[in-house]
Chains A and B, each alone.
Chain A
């Protein structure tokens, strides 16, 4: 292992300014472009879950696919900072912005100042990170904790272990596993690397790592037991498809260029031989794969491969769950570019910066950005137009969260299949044979049915077809990718005529 240059002093003034500008950039992007966006399904769920008392939060999170640290933190954040969407999003922004200098320090420790700065710059420009920097979810907290945890791990690797480092490592690991289940993949990657490169670590490290693993097990097992007693893990969440190799590569494409339209995403994926070219160009004299690069490679690949393979048993492959690999990916990218000849490296860096900026702009501005969920616009439209004798039906059922957040209309609201989320148990499964009866029940005395379809769970088209073939469709309106409003005429008589006929 090459000797480490130990940088004890703080960052140079130029770097402080650079990092500050990066942080400001992220704040500005969030304030000017993302803060005005509609509440999305996941965000609404977070608000709904964290709006309860801590005991109830534990109960609802245990029934979800997540762990409770973020929601508890959000609960108290809302108490102290405010209960608006903006203030809830601010918490994610804080962790995102804090991650930028954290990543710089990790890069500086693992490689060099320039690598740290460029990785931090990529992180600040990242369309993917900026998206989650303004989302009321645990992903930026998760990423922040992973960066800190990796910082301590790399310190151990480069022979700079101390009690503080071990404590920092243990603490971030414990908080991490209570932030997202996928934090275990981060720890798994570290364990794999430790197994392969045991020689890089202090002699007594095995004892410490085992001790920390036992502590994590001791604090986490009660949660596992608690979730087990709830017995309903994941029933409220969207069904995930089994991933394909396109999903696998789309994840990396999203990590670099954010959420883009299908056309743009296909364009990026089709360019995959360029990865080969950029790899070949790193073949330079004595450009070795350092232990740090080995570690970050394992950190990224092990997590992605495990999630991908595991998804053939239980579908869990979602790019946002793997967000914690982004710091490692950007550090690897920055260090690889550093291998090139200075002039070429400069051009590649410039190309990445420009491309990411353009893609960030595209993600913000494009109406075809696939993750955009404009429930605000949809429900605002409904609020203005729905009548008391109408009924609003949401499907899939869990989309009730963001709809309900905005809905102020006079008509009743329900879901299809019908679901009472205050009752214990899973969301009822869709049964096509029951559909006519369910619709008849819903229709009742109502005049028009406003059907808001989003988050297709495999039966959206059948619901739409049923209504199309049984009722007169009055209008259709699209608000964002996959979010469509249909209005159907349920009956032609009026309440007045019905009254008189009786």
Chain B
């Protein structure tokens, strides 16, 4: 098969075939240290720019080292037990707030058909308090499918409030939670519940797979971003008892949830914070590296931006409001893991710094370091390529340029979230749209386009100021690198990209080849 075919031999499993080449990790860490040391001792140019550069590189090295720490060993699987007649009861919550009825129906129907002896499905209907037109249709759907519908009448706390409301009307010791679009596989409970070996297991999380990932460039890219997280990173966190709670496709210990006051309603990333609080109370977490439910990725840039903002805003709350460093119930491994995950969303500031350096040069001639020769290239290129290779090895070569581009290109969203977190602005919880919105999304990438414009104007100005110098050429190359990494996100803002791709019409069927209807055994360790 040619490398040029964008090829998904098994999208539900590929990203979970992780690897932990530890000697490579050590080499990577050494290279990071060498790179940073060399950078530190380069003769500074403009001291302010040098300080910014160093701050940015401290962040990058922190990211690399914490990544290596996370993925150091990814095959650990916590203990589980075989379920028999004592299978604990599970309340299955499907949170709904105005999603299209056919999407909700598919999820509810699949939930009803799960292979498990003792569970009850509840639709947590928030449509009424969210002023959604179809909230009565949801009630009718529940009646038609024979599932309980809990319709909230008092608003507050968004999705977290909806779940907490559901807790009041149910009583089973375990609670499974699915977003309206996340369709569980038949063996979801059979695969997850066995990890509740004792009452100290707080929650069990599974991957958030996007079944519509092939719809367009954006869905594909956003899924590719998820693959790195739900592949090696989440698997690695398992060993450190630091799994991230993601709000859907999970099972929670009701007792633990109630002990931390229910789902956190103070932050728009209620899941992340709730998981943190559970860990702080000494509850354990489990990540099951198996696709057991399938949801929908955002299909348009506006929805993607909103989702990213919500994630970033919530994650930054971990740094500014719930800082794990000061939570005495956490282990140091958990503190580092939470900080590593949350600090990813600080990258917007670092991307902005790095991107601005060439522009600053074009307009002022100021540089952060005076590099004579190629010493920077000699340490930076091996370090960076080794890091990319390490990432690829750990995630089974599923990391892609578009996913990187989306992480970098979302810098403006992350910056906005950072400002909101620093200024303690209240941010409203918004439900991720399940269908593609139509419209002009170019305003969402106005900063990216402005950057290109500033570079295009800045280059001739710089030539006029000093002629063609080595520094200018080098900064043009850097600006080009930044622009190229912005292209994936700019592309999704273009009207042409909103059409469905050919790949979207290719069916990606799910089959369940492994389980019979009455098997409750957990999967064997990978």
Instruction: Indicate whether A423 reaches chain B with its CB closer than 8 angstroms.
Output: no
Instruction: Indicate whether B76 reaches chain A with its CB closer than 8 angstroms.
Output: no
Say which one of A32-40, A286-294, A352-360, A440-448 lies at the interface with B: A286-294
Interface centre among B9, B374, B385, B481 (most CB of A within 10 A): B374
Task: Tell whether, in the assembled complex, residue B480 and residue A248 are in contact, meaning their CB atoms are under 8 Å apart.
Answer: no
Instruction: Indicate whether A465 reaches chain B with its CB closer than 8 angstroms.
Output: no
Say which one of A273-281, A364-372, A413-421, A477-485 lies at the interface with B: A273-281
B401 contacts which of A269, A274, A283, A342 (Cβ < 8 Å)?
A283
Task: Tell whether, in the assembled complex, residue A280 and residue B404 are in contact, meaning their CB atoms are under 8 Å apart.
Answer: yes
A277, B474: Cα distance in complex, Å: 13
User: A272 with B6: in contact, given A245-B375, A249-B378, A280-B401 (CB under 8 Å)?
Assistant: no
Interfacial chain A residues near B388, Cβ < 8 Å: 279-280, 283
A248, B470: Cα distance in complex, Å: 17
Instruction: Indicate whether B224 reaches chain A with its CB closer than 8 angstroms.
Output: yes
Instruction: Indicate whether B484 reaches chain A with its CB closer than 8 angstroms.
Output: yes
Instruction: Indicate whether A341 reaches chain B with its CB closer than 8 angstroms.
Output: yes
Instruction: Indicate whether B501 reaches chain A with its CB closer than 8 angstroms.
Output: no
A283, B399: Cα distance in complex, Å: 7
Minimum CB–CB distance from B421 to chain A (whole Å) comes to: 29
Instruction: Indicate whether B389 reaches chain A with its CB closer than 8 angstroms.
Output: yes
A345, B473: Cα distance in complex, Å: 24
A338, B377: Cα distance in complex, Å: 25
Task: Tell whether, in the assembled complex, residue B404 and residue A283 are in contact, meaning their CB atoms are under 8 Å apart.
Answer: yes
A249, B401: Cα distance in complex, Å: 26
B-side interface mostly: helix
Task: Tell whether, in the assembled complex, residue B6 and residue A284 are in contact, meaning their CB atoms are under 8 Å apart.
Answer: yes
Task: Tell whether, in the assembled complex, residue B477 and residue A249 are in contact, meaning their CB atoms are under 8 Å apart.
Answer: no
Minimum CB–CB distance from A245 to chain B (whole Å) comes to: 4
Task: Tell whether, in the assembled complex, residue A288 and residue B477 are in contact, meaning their CB atoms are under 8 Å apart.
Answer: no
Task: Tell whether, in the assembled complex, residue A246 and residue B485 are in contact, meaning their CB atoms are under 8 Å apart.
Answer: no
439-490 of chain B: CB within 8 A of chain A: 468, 470-471, 473-474, 477-478, 480-481, 484-485
Instruction: Indicate whether A229 reaches chain B with its CB closer than 8 angstroms.
Output: no
Closest to A273 in B: B477
Minimum CB–CB distance from A416 to chain B (whole Å) comes to: 33
A-side interface mostly: helix
A342, B481: Cα distance in complex, Å: 21
Task: Tell whether, in the assembled complex, residue A271 and residue B477 are in contact, meaning their CB atoms are under 8 Å apart.
Answer: yes
Interfacial chain A residues near B398, Cβ < 8 Å: 285-286
Task: Tell whether, in the assembled complex, residue B373 and residue A277 are in contact, meaning their CB atoms are under 8 Å apart.
Answer: no
Instruction: Indicate whether A385 reaches chain B with its CB closer than 8 angstroms.
Output: no
User: A249 with B374: in contact, given A272-B381, A345-B4 (CB under 8 Å)?
Assistant: yes
Task: Tell whether, in the assembled complex, residue B392 and residue A283 are in contact, meaning their CB atoms are under 8 Å apart.
Answer: yes
Task: Tell whether, in the assembled complex, residue B3 and residue A271 are in contact, meaning their CB atoms are under 8 Å apart.
Answer: no
Task: Tell whether, in the assembled complex, residue A277 and residue B374 are in contact, meaning their CB atoms are under 8 Å apart.
Answer: no
A288, B3: Cα distance in complex, Å: 9
Task: Tell whether, in the assembled complex, residue A245 and residue B374 are in contact, meaning their CB atoms are under 8 Å apart.
Answer: yes
Minimum CB–CB distance from B97 to chain A (whole Å) comes to: 34
Chain B residue total in the interface (Cβ 8 A): 38
B378 contacts which of A245, A270, A339 (Cβ < 8 Å)?
A245
Task: Tell whether, in the assembled complex, residue A275 and residue B381 are in contact, meaning their CB atoms are under 8 Å apart.
Answer: yes
Instruction: Indicate whether B384 reaches chain A with its CB closer than 8 angstroms.
Output: yes
Task: Tell whether, in the assembled complex, residue B481 and residue A244 are in contact, meaning their CB atoms are under 8 Å apart.
Answer: no
Interfacial chain B residues near A338, Cβ < 8 Å: 3-4
336-395 of chain A: CB within 8 A of chain B: 338-342, 345
| Contact string against A for B residues 355-384, beta-carbon threshold 8 Å, 1 for contact and 0 otherwise | 000000000000000000111011011001
| Contact string against A for B residues 1-38, beta-carbon threshold 8 Å, 1 for contact and 0 otherwise | 00110111100001000000000000000000000000
Instruction: Indicate whether B397 reaches chain A with its CB closer than 8 angstroms.
Output: yes
A288, B2: Cα distance in complex, Å: 12
Minimum CB–CB distance from A339 to chain B (whole Å) comes to: 5
A138, B497: Cα distance in complex, Å: 55
Interfacial chain B residues near A281, Cβ < 8 Å: 401, 484
Interfacial chain A residues near B118, Cβ < 8 Å: none
Minimum CB–CB distance from A307 to chain B (whole Å) comes to: 14
Instruction: Indicate whether A492 reaches chain B with its CB closer than 8 angstroms.
Output: no
Closest to A112 in B: B2
Interfacial chain B residues near A20, Cβ < 8 Å: none
Task: Tell whether, in the assembled complex, residue A285 and residue B8 are in contact, meaning their CB atoms are under 8 Å apart.
Answer: yes
Interfacial chain A residues near B3, Cβ < 8 Å: 284, 286-287, 338-339
Instruction: Indicate whether B400 reaches chain A with its CB closer than 8 angstroms.
Output: yes
Interfacial chain A residues near B471, Cβ < 8 Å: 270
Task: Tell whether, in the assembled complex, residue A289 and residue B470 are in contact, meaning their CB atoms are under 8 Å apart.
Answer: no
A238, B122: Cα distance in complex, Å: 85
Interfacial chain A residues near B481, Cβ < 8 Å: 273-274, 276-277, 280
A286 contacts which of B375, B397, B470, B484 (Cβ < 8 Å)?
B397
A289 contacts which of B384, B389, B403, B477 (Cβ < 8 Å)?
B389
Task: Tell whether, in the assembled complex, residue B473 and residue A271 are in contact, meaning their CB atoms are under 8 Å apart.
Answer: yes
Closest to B397 in A: A288
Task: Tell whether, in the assembled complex, residue A273 and residue B8 are in contact, meaning their CB atoms are under 8 Å apart.
Answer: no
Interfacial chain B residues near A284, Cβ < 8 Å: 3, 6, 400-401
A274, B477: Cα distance in complex, Å: 6
B474 contacts which of A248, A271, A286 (Cβ < 8 Å)?
A271
| Contact string against B for A residues 387-430, beta-carbon threshold 8 Å, 1 for contact and 0 otherwise | 00000000000000000000000000000000000000000000
241-287 of chain A: CB within 8 A of chain B: 244-246, 248-249, 266-267, 269-277, 279-287
Interfacial chain B residues near A339, Cβ < 8 Å: 3-4
| Contact string against B for A residues 163-203, beta-carbon threshold 8 Å, 1 for contact and 0 otherwise | 00000000000000000000000000000000000000000
A365, B62: Cα distance in complex, Å: 50
Minimum CB–CB distance from B241 to chain A (whole Å) comes to: 31
A285, B8: Cα distance in complex, Å: 8
A245, B378: Cα distance in complex, Å: 7
Interfacial chain B residues near A288, Cβ < 8 Å: 392, 397
A276, B377: Cα distance in complex, Å: 10
A289, B392: Cα distance in complex, Å: 9
Task: Tell whether, in the assembled complex, residue A248 and residue B477 are in contact, meaning their CB atoms are under 8 Å apart.
Answer: no
158-205 of chain B: CB within 8 A of chain A: none
Closest to B408 in A: A280
A447, B280: Cα distance in complex, Å: 97
A388, B479: Cα distance in complex, Å: 63
Task: Tell whether, in the assembled complex, residue B377 and residue A245 are in contact, meaning their CB atoms are under 8 Å apart.
Answer: yes
Interfacial chain B residues near A286, Cβ < 8 Å: 3, 7, 9, 14, 397-398
Interface centre among A246, A341, A342 (most CB of B within 10 A): A246
Minimum CB–CB distance from B381 to chain A (whole Å) comes to: 6
Task: Tell whether, in the assembled complex, residue A341 and residue B474 are in contact, meaning their CB atoms are under 8 Å apart.
Answer: no
A273 contacts which of B392, B400, B474 (Cβ < 8 Å)?
B474
| Contact string against A for B residues 45-67, beta-carbon threshold 8 Å, 1 for contact and 0 otherwise | 00000000000000000000000
Interfacial chain A residues near B375, Cβ < 8 Å: 245
Minimum CB–CB distance from B263 to chain A (whole Å) comes to: 35
Interfacial chain B residues near A341, Cβ < 8 Å: 4
Interfacial chain A residues near B378, Cβ < 8 Å: 245, 248-249
Interface centre among B14, B375, B473 (most CB of A within 10 A): B473
User: A273 with B374: in contact, given A283-B399, A286-B7 (CB under 8 Å)?
Assistant: no
**18 other contacts beyond A280-B484, A285-B400, with CB at 8 A cut-off?**
A244-B373, A245-B377, A246-B373, A267-B470, A269-B374, A270-B470, A271-B477, A273-B477, A275-B381, A279-B384, A282-B401, A283-B403, A285-B7, A285-B224, A286-B3, A286-B398, A287-B3, A338-B3
Can you offer 29 A-B residue contacts whose CB atoms are under 8 A?
A244-B373, A245-B373, A246-B374, A248-B378, A249-B374, A266-B470, A269-B374, A270-B473, A271-B474, A271-B477, A272-B381, A272-B477, A273-B477, A273-B478, A274-B477, A274-B481, A276-B384, A279-B388, A280-B485, A281-B401, A281-B484, A283-B400, A283-B403, A286-B398, A287-B397, A288-B392, A339-B4, A341-B4, A342-B4
Which 9 A/B pairs are nearest by Cβ-Cβ distance? A270-B473, A273-B477, A245-B374, A283-B401, A245-B378, A270-B474, A272-B377, A270-B470, A249-B374
Which of A's residues lie within 8 Å of B, judged by CB? 244-246, 248-249, 266-267, 269-277, 279-289, 338-342, 345
Which of B's residues lie within 8 Å of A, judged by CB? 3-4, 6-9, 14, 224, 373-375, 377-378, 380-381, 384-385, 388-389, 392, 397-401, 403-404, 468, 470-471, 473-474, 477-478, 480-481, 484-485
